[in-house]
Amino acid sequence: MKQMRIKRWNILLLLVPFIFFTACDDDEDVDVDVMTPTAFIQEAAAIDTFEIVTANLALQNSTQAEVQEFAQLMLQEHTATRAQLRTMARERNISLQMNMTQERERIRTRLQSQTGTPFDKDYANVQVEAHEDAIQFYERARDRLQDQDLKTLADQILLRLRDHLREAQQLKDFTDQL
């Protein structure tokens, strides 16, 4: 009899957390994973700014034609993307800032201090990592944005970023041989 009572208490104690969590569930379906247009545009602009700044450094500090060609492509494509973002920001009354994160600023400073082969190798590595990070951001944005025009833009940019990543990986393979 005593064992039955203990078992009942144990079962009750096991059920209490489930009852508690169910009772605490607010039935409002607020999606905390939504990305705002401002958050998307600001981070996308920061990505483009980093790509433009580092591409300009590559044009100045590299002696390899392959690195300079890649940098020229990054400069052209990310400048075009930034123009699209400016338009989207203006249409949504969003103030567009072209700031880089502290981490991106540290990378820029490091790259700025190098030339020749050390620069080429570091730049190629940075480009692979930067494009992997950008792809992750744009995939998240595509899934979390509610603004259909921005989702479409994110999809378009994502396609190009995947191409950029393949090209950056090829560039890294090339610079690894230097």
Domain membership of residue 90 (yes or no) is: yes
| C-alpha 9: how far from chain center | 51
The Cα–Cα gap between 85 and 100 comes to 16
pLDDT (0 to 100) of residue 27 = 44
Domain tally, the chain: 1
Domain membership of residue 5 (yes or no) is: no
The Cα–Cα gap between 144 and 138 comes to 10
Domain membership of residue 3 (yes or no) is: no
Does 32 have pLDDT greater than 80? no
Q: Place 15 in a pLDDT band, splitting at 50, 70 and 90.
A: low
Domain membership of residue 9 (yes or no) is: no
pLDDT (0 to 100) of residue 33 = 87
**Weakest-pLDDT range from 7-11, 118-122, 137-141:** 7-11
pLDDT (0 to 100) of residue 1 = 58
Q: At a CB cut-off of 8 Å and minimum separation 6, what does 123 contact?
A: 54, 57, 58, 61, 62, 67, 71, 111, 175
Mean pLDDT of the chain: 89
What CATH number does residue 130 fall under?
Answer: 1.20.1260.10
Domain coverage including residue 57: 35-176
Angular region, 28: left φ>0, alpha ψ -120 to 50, beta rest = beta
Instruction: Compare 127 and 15 and report the one with higher pLDDT.
Output: 127
Taking residues 125-139, what's their average pLDDT? 99
pLDDT (0 to 100) of residue 62 = 98
Q: Place 9 in a pLDDT band, splitting at 50, 70 and 90.
A: low
Domain membership of residue 48 (yes or no) is: yes
Domain membership of residue 4 (yes or no) is: no
Taking residues 118-129, what's their average pLDDT? 99
Q: At a CB cut-off of 8 Å and minimum separation 6, what does 155 contact?
A: 142
Domain membership of residue 63 (yes or no) is: yes
Domain membership of residue 26 (yes or no) is: no
The Cα–Cα gap between 87 and 41 comes to 10
Does 142 have pLDDT greater than 80? yes
pLDDT (0 to 100) of residue 98 = 83
At 51-110, the pLDDT tens digits run 999 999 999 999 999 999 999 999 999 999 999 999 999 999 999 988 899 999 999 999
CA nearest 64: which of 133, 120, 4?
Answer: 120
pLDDT (0 to 100) of residue 97 = 86
